[in-house]
Every structure is written in C-alpha cells, then in structure tokens.
Chain A
Amino acid sequence: MITAGIDIGSITAKAALVENGKILGTKVTFTGYNAEAAGRKVYEDVLADSGLEASAVGKIVSTGYGRNSVKFADRTFTEIMAHAAGANFLKPEVRTIIDIGGQDSKAIALDERGKVKNFVMNDKCAAGTGRFLEVMARALEVDLDEFGAMSLQSGTPSKISSLCTVFAESEVISLIARGEQRFDIIAGIHESIAARISSMIARVGLTEPVMITGGVARNAGVVAALEGKLGVKIAVLPSAQVNGAIGAAILASSL
C-alpha cells in the first residue's frame, strides 16, 4: 500500500510518499498563511513529482502544527510521534532525536524499540528555533543557507547571552557595530542555540546514537555547535527536513 505523510510546520510544509518500506518521493514548500492550502499543494506536488494519482494512495497521516487543517488526512499524529517513527524507519538504532523546526525545538528520547519514552519542547519562546535564525540572518544581511559554512570559519565565536529573540537581535546589532566578524557572530548564534538545546537534552537524558531532524539540521554550524556542546556525533540524514513527513507516512501504513 502506498501511504502519504504530510507535515505542516510553521514555516514549511512537507510531504512524503512511502510504499513497502521504500520512499517514493518527498517535497517541501512554504506554508504561508493558509495551512490548509499548503497541505493540499504539497500533497499534489509530491504526487505529481512521483507520477502518481491520489487514488493510488491508501492512507494519509498529517502531523505538525497544522495537522488539523489537513482535512483529507485519515488521522493526525503529533510531530513527536512522527519524528520518532521516521527516525526508527531510517535509522532504527537512534535513541535521541533533536528536532529543530521553525517555531519550536524538541528533544525526544526513544526506548530500545524506538518508541517515544519522553520528550521536552521549548517553552513559549522562539529562541533556539529556525525563526530565531531567520531573524538573525536578516539582521546580518546573510543568506540563511550560508550560515552553516560561514560559522565554521570562526575560531572565536561571539558571546550572545540574551534568551529572547528580540533582545538577541539587538545584541547582534551591537556586535556588528562593535566591528565583530560576521562569521564569529553567526558562530555565537549557533552556540547559543546549542546551549538551549543541550539543557533540553539533559532533561530527557542523552543516549547515543543521536540524530537531528527538522529544517535547521541543514545548518552545519548548528550541528557542529551541538556536537561540541554535547560531546557526541550527531547523525544528519539528507532527509532530515522531511523526517516528520516520512514518519507520518510510516504511521499511516499501520493504520
């Protein structure tokens, strides 16, 4: 049976098609202001890319913040379950997932069967998330996609101490005014994210292997900062951003 997973995040909408343990296709688009339309669009796109008709799909599971706006889904799961299912499918030995999305970040502990044992989500605050990075990229006039590579050039990351995105932004602006190097500032931003995530990891307990999912996984600087802080290797799969959608498709296959 072909199943579909649709993950509506605060910034991007993701879709995945799975059949008999094989990924047929994945797609990422922007969510925009209409989550329902974004869900339909990303689903149509992934079908078109894979050359499939909607009638070929047996079951659909939606997840993410906009999970309830996907009216054509058979069932919803939270992204916590979806990321666990995705990780368990792609890399069954994983015991800790770090998921950093647009507006929230999570640490998920898995048990020996790959089931969710415990999870911690960020508080009502966007620091340590993709949105935080977007704001900083704008302040620094750097394309967010270059953040990772640039920060890796830094030998002395700047110190960002504020916990609030808005205050951290003004902190960054004053660092710019003080003439600090851009790559040092970016590295400092990544360090501050890593510090926040590490305390969440401490609450669920760190067990290797560790995997990172969500859009921010594409940022090599954040991954490096996290590895430094936690003292472990973190697996980054090419499918990190669509892991939740893949997991949702896997969950759909056992409906």
Chain B
Amino acid sequence: MSEAKSEKEKRKIQSEKKMRDIMTAYYIDAKTARQNNKKVAWITSGGPVEPLIAMDIIPVYPENHGAMIGASKMGVDLCEKAEAMGYSNDLCSYARSDISCATVNGGPIGGLPEPDMLVCCNNICGTVLKWYEVQARYFNIPLFIFDTPFCHTEYTKEAKRYVERQIGEYVAFLEGVCGRKMDQDRMKDVGRISFEGQKLWQEVLDTAVNKPSPMTAFDAFFHLALIVTLRGTQQTIDYYQGLLAEMKDRIRDGIGAIAQEKYRLLWDNLPIWYRMKWLSKKFAEHDACLVADTYTSAWCGAMKYIDENKFLDSMAEAYSRIYLNIGVDEMARMVIAMIDKYQVDGFVLHSNRSCKPYSLGQFDIQRIVEKERNIPCLMIEADMVDERSFSESQISTRIDAFMEIIKDRKKGRA
C-alpha cells in the first residue's frame, strides 16, 4: 500500500501546486480588479493578449473558465441553462456555459469578474464573434473584433496589410477605454517576455520526446493554463523555468509519466475535460502514454513568425497562422511532423462536437496520416464540456480495440 503510494508520489509533478497557487492568485486579482481600479478584459484564447498586459488590463478567458467548468463537471447544468435561454445544443459548449454562467454567476469559481471590455479574435473559430456580441450586449460594454483571415495556403500580402492595420486600431481601442496612452517601451518588454514564455513552453513540451516521457498530454492540458492566460508576464517565465527544470530532473532520474511506457500516442483536439482522469487511467492500463497533442502546442506553434524585437508588428502574422486558422494540408503536415518528432505508435483524434473548426478536417487528416505514416488512428466522438455527448462503453471498446491493434502491430514488427 505504502509502496503503491510512494510510486504515485514519485510520478507526481511537483510544480502542480505552484500552478494552482498562481491561478488562484490570478483569479482573486481579477475578481477584485474594481476595488483596485483595474480594468478587466475578456479575451478569446487565441487573441493577442500582450497589449492588454502592457496596458495593465487584467485579461480573463471565458474559454479557460469553460475548461474549469468542464473539469469540475458543471458543464451539463450550465449547458442546459443556456438551452433553456434558447441557445441550440449544437452551439459550442464553452459558449453555452459562458453565456448562461454570466447570468447566474455559477460554476466552480462563482462566475468570472464582470468585464469592462471584450476582445474577440476569430483565429480560433467563427462562433466567438456571435458569442462575444451576445456578451457585449449583456454587459453593455465595448467590443473589439480582431479579424484574422483564414490562411488556406498562405498569408497573403493583402491579409498582412489588413491584419496589421487592425493592430493600430486595437491599441487605439484600449487607449480609448482606459483613457491613457500605451507605453511603447513597456509593450516591447511584454512582447519579449511573451516570446520567451512561448519558447519555454515549447521546451517543456519538447521534453516528451524522451523515452519514457516525463509528462503526458494530460499534464500539458493542466500546465497550459499560464501560457494561455498570463502570456507576457514574468511569472509565466519563472513558472515554466521551474517546470522545465523538473522535467529535466525526471529525465535524468528516469522517471516516466506513467508506470510503464510501452506505447506512445499523439492526441488531437481539445481535451475531454470531465474525463481526463478516466482517459489517462484507461490509456495507462494499456501501458500507453499520450506524449503530445496538437492543442497545447497551439500557443507556441506560430513562434517562427514572431520577431521578438518588433513584437507588435510581427504578431499580426503569428496570430493569423495559428493551428486552427490554416488549411487541412498544413495541419496534416504539422501532425506528421509531431508523429516523427515524438515517435508515436498511434494517433487519437477527439472529434469534438463543440469545436467545428478543429473537428471538420479530421477525417482528411486521419487519411493523410494513415497514408503517410501508416500508424493506427482512433476517432473518439465526444465533447469538451458537455458530458451528454460522452458514451463510456462505446469509447472504452474503441480504445481497447485500438490498443489491441497497436500491440499486435508492434509485436509483428518486433
């Protein structure tokens, strides 16, 4: 018993506690913003947050909140509330939970702090446009829409000019709401810090190339919170430096994320927040470690377009070319690069009822991966927050069968 406990203790990532403390402090700060004469902006997960940090505006993420709602299994209740308000159950479950939560201040933290402004960037989906318009009407506050055209094959000259023009408008919008000018030197610092944070996050994710991997994608889903919410702050850098050091220690000491890593898998799409434990246990029982995913790397996947010394100018391209705003061929290329980099034996795709832009091209991506890399692929139909779309015995059978195929193939090859 005590041996089993210490075994579990050994695998526990120590930085987790620090992360919880940081997130708690962050939400307390955000919730007490009014008392401290600070402004709060709600912003989409892929939105350009750095100008907010530079203006001392506290960014708050309804999507991060949605993940918390999902993880604490409060999604169904809030989704049903939204449906009672008249929203279709085909609408994204983050949107449904956020829209209904704002009216009742429910969820795990009693609702988000009321926003002073909204910043909506459509590089992650089109739903956010209507979602943020709904909230702008509900709170009667200004909304800024940062429009990033879809990059089917390339980022055209016209798109470049169009997006860059909006950066000026965005800064002017923030200055208008706050009634003061942006400090350009501060903005430059924030840009550099943001870039540094993304680099560190990528380095953390890179440690998973090690066999056994010191972390799983489920860990990444958790530690992701800072690069999403506090990108551009020093504490993000400090935290990821600590986490990176811990991962390196684990590699040195041969500590893997799961007891026995025999098979390595890649995950696609958002997590199934309310089933993280179940899924991680299910895969671990098969000695399978989800070593990487396409989701958490989205917050450092466009670094090559950033010039850290000209952050504001170059962020236009970086924010336009994130994973969800590019064509399926390009996505498949990125998936295949990850399959090679992390040396995975199989590819698990979560077909997420909520997230259409993420799920739409999955059949094609699966076909391309099967053709190019000939590894088994598994499609799981579920939803990130709405548990009503999760069928345990169906998914359990699919995972078992998928693992049987992987084991069979590895045995055949050995």
Contact = CB atoms under 8 A, between A and B. Distances in A.
Interface in B360-414: 363, 370, 376-377, 379, 381, 389, 391, 393-394, 397-398, 400-401, 404-405, 408, 412
How many A residues are at the interface, by size bracket? 10 to 19
A80 interface: yes
B89 to A, nearest CB: 14
B394 A121 contact: yes
B328 to A, nearest CB: 16
A104 B391 CA distance: 12
A97 to B, nearest CB: 13
A77 interface: yes
Contacts of B376: 118
A78 interface: yes
A89 interface: no
B397 A65 contact: yes
Contacts of A118: 370, 376-377, 405
Interface string A162-205: 00000000000000000000000000000000000000000100
A82 to B, nearest CB: 10
**Chief secondary structure at chain B's binding surface:** helix
Contacts of B401: 78-81, 116, 119
Given A116-B405, A118-B376, A123-B381, A78 B400 contact: yes
B397 A115 contact: no
B363 A79 contact: no
Interface string A108-141: 0000000111111101100000000000000000
A46 B405 CA distance: 30
Given A121-B398, A203-B363, 16 more contacts: A65-B397, A77-B404, A78-B397, A78-B400, A78-B404, A80-B397, A115-B408, A116-B408, A117-B405, A118-B376, A118-B405, A119-B401, A121-B397, A124-B389, A124-B391, A124-B394
A104 B405 contact: no
Contacts of A116: 401, 404-405, 408
Contacts of B381: 123-124
Contact of A104 (B363, B389, B394, B404): B394
Contacts of A65: 393, 397
5 contacts: A78-B401, A116-B401, A118-B376, A120-B379, A124-B389
A170 B36 CA distance: 60
Contacts of B389: 124
Contacts of A123: 381
Contacts of A77: 404
A208 B379 CA distance: 24
B404 A81 contact: yes
Contacts of B394: 104, 121, 124
A56 to B, nearest CB: 28
A123 B393 CA distance: 12
A104 B394 CA distance: 9
Contacts of B412: 115
A80 B404 contact: yes
